[in-house]
Structure 1
Amino acid sequence: MEIRPIVTDEDHAAALREIDRLWGVEPGTPGGDRFDVLVTLVQAYEERRWPMPKLDPVEHIIGHMDLTGRTQADLAKLLGSRSRASEVLNRKRALTVEMIHKLQSEWGIPAELLIRPYKLDAA
């Protein structure tokens, strides 16, 4: 397969087949370089073709909790109280710098995903 821009779904499918064929090849070899270039092209195509919606900070927290099996009770322990966790998840209370720091340092949620402005619901 010749490496070229991915512009169609057929190009995408061919690139995925080639990536599958190259899976596990030694990095730094011609095959490893080819693999890296194809992965980069596929990622760029997929971001253009199927863009991910931008999530607000609360959606990131909820998604992280779902992926890691954490509960609202776990968030309450992290933030200091059940009511605070409930208010954050229900968009009644904005995240503070301290909360963002805890979510980043203890749960590993990147701070840049949490510092964006988002709409709070009226109390």
Structure 2
Amino acid sequence: MNIKPIKSEQDYQEALNRLEVIFDAQKNSVEGDEFEVLSILIEKYEDEHFPIGLPDPIEAIKFRMEQMGYNQQDLAKMVGLKSRASEILNRKRKLSLEMIRLLHEGLKIPTEVLVQAY
């Protein structure tokens, strides 16, 4: 096991190639331990070099509604009025703190996604 920090794109590619070779390693084996450590190093490198931002709040609402089979009327039940739901989905109304709380509870969308500017 020759593990080192991932500092460059070449190191990253080598780590990915090695990870592919030992992908099916048994847990608690030498290769299994190597797989676990390499995975952590790769994740750290990717977080630093390929960050993924939070999704747009309205797109997150639409996506979650689709996942749950909800329509605009279901959203209206959460936020109070059908017109308010329409305004939210069409970006004509900003989310209030109370709406964020209700959407977080009802759609299980993280509050850090809903509080962003859009």
- Verify the 8 A CA contact 1:57 1:113 in the aligned structure 2: yes
Which one has the largest radius of gyration?
A: 2
Quote the residue 2:76 is aligned against: 76
How many residue pairs get aligned? The number is 116
1:106 CA displacement: 2.4
Distance, in Å, in 1 between the alignment partners of 2:36 and 2:5 is 14
Aligned residue in 2 for 1:100? 100
Match of 1:46 in 2: 46
Q: Which residue of 1 aligns with 2:58?
A: 58
Secondary structure at the counterpart of residue 3 of structure 2: coil
Q: 1: distance between equivalents of 2:15 and 2:63? A: 30
Relative to structure 1, the CA distance from residue 64 to residue 12 in structure 2 (aligned partners, 3 Å threshold; closer, same or farther) is farther
Taking structure 1 as the reference length, the TM-score comes to 0.65
- Quote the RMSD (CA, aligned, Å): 3.0
Whether the 8 Å contact between 1:23 and 1:35 is mirrored in structure 2 is no
CA shift, 1:6, in A, is 1.8
Displacement after TM superposition at 1:63 (Å)? 4.2
Q: Which moved more, 1:50-59 or 1:34-43?
A: 50-59
Deviations 1:4-35 (A, max 9, x none): 22233332233223334245643x66555433
Corresponding letter in the other structure for 1:35: F
Aligned-residue identity in percent: 39
Give structure 1 stretches of 5+ with no counterpart.
Answer: none
